[in-house]
């Protein structure tokens, strides 16, 4: 009897101990769960449907790793994006994470709406050393880091190889190999392949995107601003010659579309087209002709493609800064940058040198990517940025409207730009 009683007591103690252990374990799990409350982040960008498809895949992988974080993606057209962010900032309704372009960063920094992500440098798993240092400069201020790049594409020349072959003309890459690819030859080649509804060249992605013309000015030793960005310097002999080049091609040679004409490179009616390398995602879909890419023409002072740059930033008023940091780290991890490299020139050295980047389906030849993209990275110059960029851009676009309408000569147009823009730089 005594033995049975001892056995009963032992069993009760075991049950009690197990119950207490389970209770303690449940409490600890509940406590951990309490720190993982469901949150929703907003990610804003200006990408097209193909970009959004890639990000949908990335977001799905992110939420599998972080099931308590939902990510809502919103896309705003690029021409409206900067103004949209400005309006959302005024109403304290900014997204948690968003794309930012080089022209936007100075204004966003001045308005103090970007969060500091300098702590990423201390995360050894993140491997900040994998980023080219030059790609981070745009986002650095006073030893702080306010964004991470995802795209650093130089401007390249997309060309319709069939038009050159059919006209019996050397292609841009053949001129590059011969050492004869300069701006004078570019103008001659554009005229030679024009006619019967075909234009030899187009500098404009849309009629507000004039920035590629700066590469011509740079090649002759000029620039848009002085180094301190306190003076508009495009009103110069180099700037005048750039506008005269465009004027000749539009109205004398008829080798460039006139403003308002909607003629795309994909149509086969444009011989040479200036755009950042990211345009290759659309060019890959071309089936009616053979395309290739080449470096920009060279001027007496060198060859200087414009370096487009875009990155991600966390906006300062995010209600979920820790979760926003996790999303930003994932987007800019080696996995994230590799996924987006189908469209964008990657800022991580490990991805830029990878076969995944070079060997995309329907890509230009490896040799062309090497010559036009990789070899030109050191020559590329960042697009100028200023906190008053929107107003500056409007003044420049007004001047181009005068050129498009043949209302004034290039010298008068640049004088008008200077009178409007210099006060904005003070």
pLDDT greater than 70 at residue 17: no
Give the Cα separation of 56 and 74 in Å (integer): 11
Q: Report, as an integer, the average pLDDT of 246-268.
A: 96
Q: pLDDT per residue over 195-225, tens digit each?
A: 999 999 999 988 888 999 999 999 999 999 9
Give the pLDDT score at 117: 98
Give the Cα separation of 290 and 278 in Å (integer): 18
Give the Cα separation of 39 and 51 in Å (integer): 24
The sign one gets for the Cα dihedral 297, 300, 303, 304 is negative
Q: Report, as an integer, the average pLDDT of 26-34.
A: 40
CATH no., domain 155-304+386-425: 3.40.190.10
Which residues are within 8 A (CB) of 327 and not within 5 positions of it... i.e. 6 or more apart?
Answer: 41, 43, 62, 69, 71, 96, 97
pLDDT bucket at 85, cuts 50 / 70 / 90: very high
Domain boundaries, the chain: 39-153+309-353, 155-304+386-425
Give the Cα separation of 205 and 332 in Å (integer): 27
Q: Which residue has the higher pLDDT, 307 or 93?
A: 93
Paired tokens of 295 = 């470096």
pLDDT greater than 60 at residue 363: yes
pLDDT greater than 90 at residue 299: yes
Predicted TM-score (pTM) of this structure? 0.79
Paired tokens of 112 = 């103090």
**What beta strand segments (E) does 257-356 contain?**
270-276, 291-294, 306-307, 310-314
Which of 18-27, 167-176, 312-321 has the lowest average pLDDT?
Answer: 18-27
pLDDT greater than 50 at residue 90: yes
Helices in 207-341 by DSSP H: which ranges?
214-219, 237-247, 280-283, 321-331, 334-340
pLDDT bucket at 364, cuts 50 / 70 / 90: very high
Q: Report, as an integer, the average pLDDT of 405-418.
A: 98
pLDDT greater than 80 at residue 22: no
pLDDT greater than 60 at residue 419: yes
Q: Report, as an integer, the average pLDDT of 351-366.
A: 90
The per-residue pLDDT of the chain, averaged, comes to 90
Which residues are within 8 A (CB) of 171 and not within 5 positions of it... i.e. 6 or more apart?
Answer: 159, 161, 164, 165, 292, 294
Paired tokens of 258 = 């006139």
pLDDT greater than 70 at residue 13: no
Paired tokens of 407 = 């209302």
Which DSSP state fits 119? G
pLDDT greater than 50 at residue 376: yes
pLDDT greater than 90 at residue 36: no
> Quick one: how far is CA 392 from the chain centroid?
20
Give the pLDDT score at 396: 97
In CATH terms, the fold of domain 39-153+309-353 is D-Maltodextrin-Binding Protein; domain 2 (3.40.190)
- DSSP line for 126-186: T-GGGB-HHHHGGGEETTEE--EEEE-PBEEEEEEHHHHHHHT---HHHHHHHT--BHHHH
Q: Report, as an integer, the average pLDDT of 128-133.
A: 92
Q: Do domains 39-153+309-353 and 155-304+386-425 have the same CATH topology?
A: yes
Give the Cα separation of 31 and 35 in Å (integer): 7
Give the Cα separation of 142 and 87 in Å (integer): 27
Give the pLDDT score at 35: 61
Give the Cα separation of 400 and 215 in Å (integer): 17
Q: Report, as an integer, the average pLDDT of 44-61.
A: 94
Which of 1-15, 151-165, 301-315, 409-423 has the lowest average pLDDT?
Answer: 1-15
Give the pLDDT score at 16: 44
Q: Report, as an integer, the average pLDDT of 327-338.
A: 97
């Amino acid at each position: 009897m005594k033995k049975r009683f001892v056995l009963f007591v032992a069993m009760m103690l075991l049950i009690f101990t197990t119950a207490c252990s389970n209770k303690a374990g449940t409490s600890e799990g509940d406590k951990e769960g309490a720190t993982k409350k469901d949150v929703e982040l907003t990610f804003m960008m200006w990408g097209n449907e193909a970009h959004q498809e890639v990000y949908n895949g990335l977001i799905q992988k992110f939420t599998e790793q972080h099931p308590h974080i939902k990510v809502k993606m919103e896309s705003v057209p690029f021409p409206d994006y900067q103004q949209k962010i400005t309006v959302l900032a005024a109403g304290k309704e900014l997204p948690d994470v968003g794309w930012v372009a080089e022209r936007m960063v100075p204004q966003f920094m001045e308005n103090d709406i970007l969060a500091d992500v300098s702590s990423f440098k201390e995360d050894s798993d993140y491997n900040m050393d994998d980023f080219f240092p030059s790609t981070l400069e745009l986002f650095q201020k006073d030893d702080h880091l306010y964004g991470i790049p995802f795209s650093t594409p130089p401007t390249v020349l997309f060309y319709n190889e069939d038009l050159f072959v059919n006209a019996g003309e050397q292609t841009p890459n053949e001129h590059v190999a011969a050492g004869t690819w300069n701006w004078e030859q570019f103008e001659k080649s554009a005229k030679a392949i024009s006619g019967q509804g075909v234009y030899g060249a187009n500098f404009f992605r849309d009629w507000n995107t004039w920035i590629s013309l700066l590469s011509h000015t740079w090649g002759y030793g000029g620039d848009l601003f002085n180094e301190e960005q306190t003076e508009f310097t495009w009103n110069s002999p180099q700037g005048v010659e750039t506008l005269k080049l465009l004027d000749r091609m539009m109205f004398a040679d008829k080798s460039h579309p006139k403003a308002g004409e909607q003629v795309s490179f994909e149509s086969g009616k444009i011989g040479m087209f200036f755009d950042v390398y990211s345009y290759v995602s659309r060019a890959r879909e071309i089936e009616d002709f053979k395309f290739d890419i080449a470096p920009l023409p060279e001027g007496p002072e060198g060859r200087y493609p414009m370096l487009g740059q875009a990155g991600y930033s966390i906006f300062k008023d995010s209600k979920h800064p820790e979760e926003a940091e996790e999303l930003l780290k994932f987007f800019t991890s080696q996995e994230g940058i590799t996924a987006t490299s189908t469209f964008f020139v990657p800022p991580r050295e490990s991805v830029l040198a990878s076969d995944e980047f070079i060997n995309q389906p329907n890509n230009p030849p490896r040799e062309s990517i090497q010559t036009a993209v990789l070899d030109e990275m050191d020559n590329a110059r960042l697009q100028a940025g200023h906190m008053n960029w929107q107003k500056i851009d409007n003044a420049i676009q007004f001047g181009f409207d005068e050129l498009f309408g043949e209302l004034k000569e290039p010298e008068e147009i640049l004088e008008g730009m200077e009178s409007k823009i210099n006060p904005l730089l003070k």
